[in-house]
Amino acid sequence: MKKVKKYNNITGRRDFLRKSLISGCVLAGGAIGLEKVFSGENDSGEKVKVLTPDGKVFVANSDHLKEFRPPPVTNEEARKGIPNRKFVMVFDLSKCDGCKTCTAACQEMHFTESDREWIKVFKMKDATTTAPYYFPKPCFHCDNPPCTKVCPVNATYKRQDGIVLIDNERCIGCRCCMAACPYSTRFFNWSHPDPRQVAATANIPYSPEQSLPRRMGTVEKCDFCPDMLREGNMPACASTCPMNAIYFGDQNEDAVTNASGVTVRLSQLLEDNAGYRHLEELGTEPRVYYLSPKNRKYPVPDMESPVKKQGKAMPMEMDMGNMKM
Amino acid sequence: MVNETLNLPAGQAGLKNGIEILREDCLRPLQKWGRSTLIWIGFLLLVIGWGLYCYIHQLRNGLGVTAMRDYVSWGLYISTFVFFIGISHSGTLVSAILRISKQEWRRPITRSAELLTFVSLLFGGILPIIDLGRPDRLANIVIFGRVQSPLVWDVISICTYLVGSTTFLFLPMIPDMALCRDRLTVCDSRFKKFRKWLYTKMALGWKGTKSQWHTLELTMTTMTIVIIPVAVSVHTVVSYIFAMTLRPGWDSTVFGPYFVTGALYSGSAGVILGMAAFRKLYHLEKYITLKHFDLMGRIQLALTLIYAYLNLNEYWIPAYKMATAEGRLLTDLFYGSYSKAFWTCQFGTVMLPIIFLAIPKLRKPLMISITCIIIVAGAWVKRYLIVVPTLLHPFMPIQEVPESWSSYFPNYVEFSVTAACLAGIFLIITLFSKLFPMIAVWEVEDGLKIDYDKQAAIYLRTKREEEEAKILEDRLKTGSETIQQPA
């Protein structure tokens, strides 16, 4: 279910994404094939036009077509990570207006229940005299992760590209990592997943990079959408933020990009805006940075009322180009 | 017990008589299973059955059937796990420490203490497995085990301690098993054939030869020395599960000793309760005497004082500073939703017992039992207060989650499963006490012999002194005569 990836394909713009161009084409071909199959799925024997991975169009009987699934990366590859990358995320708090579009896109992408927010938007007020602000929080993918240290079975691990993942086929559900995470980032699958969700995710081949289908009794959390990264796309949250408050990129390249495709130097961005990391004193070395909510572009949040709820995720077909502010 | 007149052959007879009475007294509870015992066992089985049903319900539908949610991801199960592991320190304390310091009075209470260790450790070890989301993948701990994880330290040290304490329980049982093998099979008791087989197997061919005694003494001494550091390590690494995190309330350097003293404090209270129960139920008043309660009361007092001191360190130091996140937790504990339970624990189950235990008149079986029930219950609640409030005060604020996630109280599933574990502990203790003597017969015999030897020695010495005095007197008399003669 690679629907969300159509949100923002920035393949051409970015060098590291260009490398995966070929695989991206294959996947695009696959996706089109898939749509054709869906369009005629009740009409057995109907002739449909199909685009092959090498760019040829031909007509085929829909009965003979099978849904295309890209093969998942192997468990070993999922443990190593994408070579020569150091993924990093930056939140510009002066732009975040708490709309929770990122949360909704994340929930759509990962088929999560509405009460489970891998990226959560907090309303923060550090002291009675300081101004409140919105504070979106994904997993910080710490460089000194307290969670992976305590895992007894190496089910959660740190990759060389900076991402912390969970192998839900190995997790024993002891919840040590949840106790160890100081940011309350991890979620436990307390019960059987929703049947609709099971149906929607049943055909997804398992890989720790997708952690789908989810399994009862295991832990899950924000994963920076590594399957999207492999295809040269940004994580769902970063590519949908209507305020362009989320930057995502590679620390090795010193470049981060936001939803509207603006790429800036990471070091410059942090320098100009007094970038910081949340709870730096804990020494966990987060890979997520924040820019202070200075000169904000939205009214100060009302601490009494709950954060605005974006009931549904944005429609799949929505063109991100039209969303620019 | 020693014959008053003590011309030696008659004294020997007196000792033999004393040993005979002891053996009779200790083996009597094994011979009859009263109706009350059967009702008690039936009740325990009922509790275990219901708990098992709830656990199967939990297995099928996930841990979501408990009251735990993403914020409070550890609840009653883990609190009880810590509590049971704490109780399991009892055996080491009484048996090993008193054995190594040659406290003769320990002899009649070692068996029950060692049993309590074994059983509470067994169920303490089961509880984290009950708490697992995927118990079917338990083998992953062996297959993919990471030695960096505090949970793996726990598995290693609890398994070591379980093996050690089982050995420690079993070794001194061997001569008693031989006794049971030789005696009980002739009398009328339930499961006669099974018992004969069991005692014969467990006696390991014990004949009481000199070399066998020597081997037993040697292994017992070795085990005594080995088991103490293992026991200390167990509760230390249990505390490390919490202390190795950054969470306010757990991120504490005093957690290791705090948990170990907490364990000894609750464990020795458990031993006193066991003493009181078996004394009453099996009429062992002759062997478990008021002196035992007085001495155990003193030990309990010392341990409670140390525990109170560590409590002071654990709460007063951060409370003085009131750092942001820790301050929020402490405010909740001191004045907030947990304040009643917290202060009841601090004053009701630590300070009050100190007063009770310090008064010699109150170190009598009934009063000390009440004190120990307060202590054990308090230790359990305290474990809960260590685990749960910290989870409810994370660094990030708890916002926009269903109401039920931001508070926690165990529901019927957790209570039922935990009650089943407690019932399991009682069931094993009951069955054990109906199959094996609850007093280490040979150890008490040894004590009697030592007592006898001492008294005999005293008697001989006074006798010799009397004779010497007589001789001296005679000599003096004759001496005075000899002095008088030349004059």
Looking at the domain assignment, is residue B480 inside a domain?
A: no
> What is each CA distance from B172 to B181, B436, B443, in whole angstroms?
15, 12, 8
Is A182's CB within 8 Å of B74's CB? no
**Separation CA A228–CA A24 (nearest Å):** 10
| Parallel, antiparallel or unpaired: strands A255-257 and A246-250 | antiparallel
The list of chain A residues with pLDDT below 50 reads 1-41, 309-325
Interchain contact B84–A (C-beta under 8 A): no
A106 & A176 share domain? yes
Looking at the domain assignment, is residue B478 inside a domain?
A: no
Token digits of residue B430: 């009951």
Number of domains within chain A: 2
Between residues 146 and 205 of chain B, which touch chain A (CB distance below 8 Å)? Answer: 146, 148-152, 155
Is B61's CB within 8 Å of A192's CB? yes
Give SS3 for B24.
helix
pLDDT at B329: 93
**Separation CA B36–CA B15 (nearest Å):** 35
Q: Give the distance from residue B122's alpha carbon to the nearest chain A alpha carbon, in angstroms.
A: 19
Residue B16, domain CATH: 1.20.1630.10
Give the torsion through C-alpha atoms of B307, B310, B315, B316, to 10 deg: 120
Mean pLDDT of chain A: 80
- Listed in sequence order, the residues at least 6 apart from A310 whose beta carbon sits closer than 8 Å to its beta carbon are A99, A100, A101, A103, A104
A117 & A23 share domain? no
Is A179's CB within 8 Å of B145's CB? no
A199 & A152 share domain? yes
A94 & A213 share domain? yes
Residue showing tokens 């048996």? B95
Closest CA to B158 of B95, B235, B268, B216: B235
Interchain contact B391–A (C-beta under 8 A): yes
Looking at the domain assignment, is residue A70 inside a domain?
A: no
Contacts with B138 from chain A: Cβ below 8 Å: 172
pLDDT at A57: 81
Token digits of residue B151: 């949970």
Q: Give the distance from residue A206's alpha carbon to the nearest chain B alpha carbon, in angstroms.
A: 18
A224 & A101 share domain? yes
With 0-12 / 13-18 / 19 or more C-beta atoms within 10 angstroms meaning exposed / middle / buried, residue B161 is buried
The CA angle B120-B123-B129, to the nearest 5 degrees, is 150
Chain A residues touching chain B at CB-CB below 8 Å: 115, 120, 122-124, 137, 146, 149-155, 170-176, 178-180, 182-184, 186-192, 215-219, 279, 282, 284, 306-307
Looking at the domain assignment, is residue A151 inside a domain?
A: yes
> What is each CA distance from B476 to B469, B470, B472, B473, B483, in whole angstroms?
10, 10, 6, 5, 10
Interchain contact B403–A (C-beta under 8 A): no
Contact (Cβ atoms closer than 8 angstroms) between residue B443 and residue B172 = yes
pTM of the model: 0.85
Query: Nearest Cβ partner of A172 from B132, B391, B394?
Result: B132
State the DSSP H helix or E strand holding residue B455, giving kind and residue range, or none if neither. Answer: helix B441-484
Looking at the domain assignment, is residue B477 inside a domain?
A: no
Residue A291, domain CATH: 3.30.70.20
Is A192's CB within 8 Å of B141's CB? no
Contacts with B146 from chain A: Cβ below 8 Å: 151-154
Looking at the domain assignment, is residue A176 inside a domain?
A: yes
Is A152's CB within 8 Å of B146's CB? yes
Query: Nearest Cβ partner of B151 from A150, A190, A307?
Result: A150
Looking at the domain assignment, is residue B402 inside a domain?
A: no
Task: Give A175-198 as a DSSP string.
Answer: -HHHHH-TT---EE--SPPPHHHH
Is B244's CB within 8 Å of A149's CB? yes
A79 & A16 share domain? no
DSSP state of B437: -
B69 → chain A, closest CA residue: A190
Closest CA to A102 of A92, B1, B15: A92
| Parallel, antiparallel or unpaired: strands A156-158 and A187-188 | unpaired
Domain that holds residue B69: 8-396+410-465
Domain limit, last residue, from A20, A41, A64: A64
**Separation CA B122–CA B88 (nearest Å):** 9
pLDDT at A50: 77
pLDDT at B317: 93
Contact (Cβ atoms closer than 8 angstroms) between residue B442 and residue B179 = yes
Looking at the domain assignment, is residue B1 inside a domain?
A: no
> What is each CA distance from B451 to B2, B96, B104, B242, in whole angstroms?
9, 21, 10, 48
Domain limit, last residue, from A42, A64, A86: A64
A186 & A56 share domain? no
Number of domains within chain B: 1
A38 & A87 share domain? no
**Separation CA A15–CA B246 (nearest Å):** 39
Give SS3 for A289.
strand
Helices B255-281 and B365-391 pack at an angle, to 10 degrees, of 140
pLDDT at B181: 83
Looking at the domain assignment, is residue B17 inside a domain?
A: yes
A124 & A51 share domain? no
A209 & A290 share domain? yes
**Separation CA B103–CA B106 (nearest Å):** 6
pLDDT digits (tens, 9 = 90+) for A17-65: 344 434 444 444 444 444 444 444 455 567 778 777 777 787 877 777 7
Is B140's CB within 8 Å of A155's CB? yes
Query: Nearest Cβ partner of B395 from A216, A219, A279?
Result: A279
Query: Nearest Cβ partner of B146 from A151, A178, A306?
Result: A151
Is B62's CB within 8 Å of A192's CB? yes
Looking at the domain assignment, is residue B487 inside a domain?
A: no
Contacts with A178 from chain B: Cβ below 8 Å: 70, 73
Question: The complex's ipTM?
Answer: 0.84
Query: Nearest Cβ partner of B151 from A120, A174, A192?
Result: A174
Closest CA to B292 of B316, B306, B271, B309: B271
Q: Give the distance from residue B230's alpha carbon to the nearest chain A alpha carbon, in angstroms.
A: 21
pLDDT at B12: 67
Looking at the domain assignment, is residue B438 inside a domain?
A: yes
Looking at the domain assignment, is residue A291 inside a domain?
A: yes
Contact (Cβ atoms closer than 8 angstroms) between residue A150 and residue B149 = yes
Contacts with B411 from chain A: Cβ below 8 Å: none
Encode chain B (487 residues) as per-residue pLDDT tens digits.
444 444 444 466 777 777 878 887 777 777 777 888 899 999 999 999 999 999 999 999 999 999 999 999 999 999 999 999 999 988 787 788 888 888 888 888 888 899 999 999 999 999 999 999 999 999 999 999 999 999 999 999 999 999 999 999 999 889 888 888 887 765 555 667 788 888 888 888 888 888 999 999 899 999 999 999 999 999 999 999 999 999 999 999 999 999 999 999 999 999 999 989 988 888 888 888 898 999 999 999 999 999 999 999 999 999 999 998 899 999 999 999 899 999 999 998 899 999 999 988 888 889 999 999 999 999 999 999 999 999 999 999 998 888 888 889 999 999 999 999 999 999 999 999 888 888 888 888 888 888 888 888 888 888 888 888 888 888 887 765 555 555 4
Closest CA to B208 of B480, B462, B458, B446: B446
A141 & A83 share domain? yes
State the DSSP H helix or E strand holding residue A120, giving kind and residue range, or none if neither. Answer: strand A120-124
pLDDT at B459: 86
Looking at the domain assignment, is residue A182 inside a domain?
A: yes
CB atoms within 10 A of CB B24: 10
SS3 content of chain B, % helix, strand, coil (to 5): 80, 0, 20
Interchain contact B242–A (C-beta under 8 A): yes
Contacts with B398 from chain A: Cβ below 8 Å: 184
Q: Give the distance from residue B227's alpha carbon to the nearest chain A alpha carbon, in angstroms.
A: 25
Contact (Cβ atoms closer than 8 angstroms) between residue A214 and residue A168 = yes
Is B132's CB within 8 Å of A217's CB? yes
Query: Nearest Cβ partner of A217 from B63, B155, B247?
Result: B63
A25 & A174 share domain? no
Domain that holds residue A170: 75-323
Residues forming beta bridges with residue A291, ordered by sequence position: A92
Contacts with B73 from chain A: Cβ below 8 Å: 175, 178-179, 188
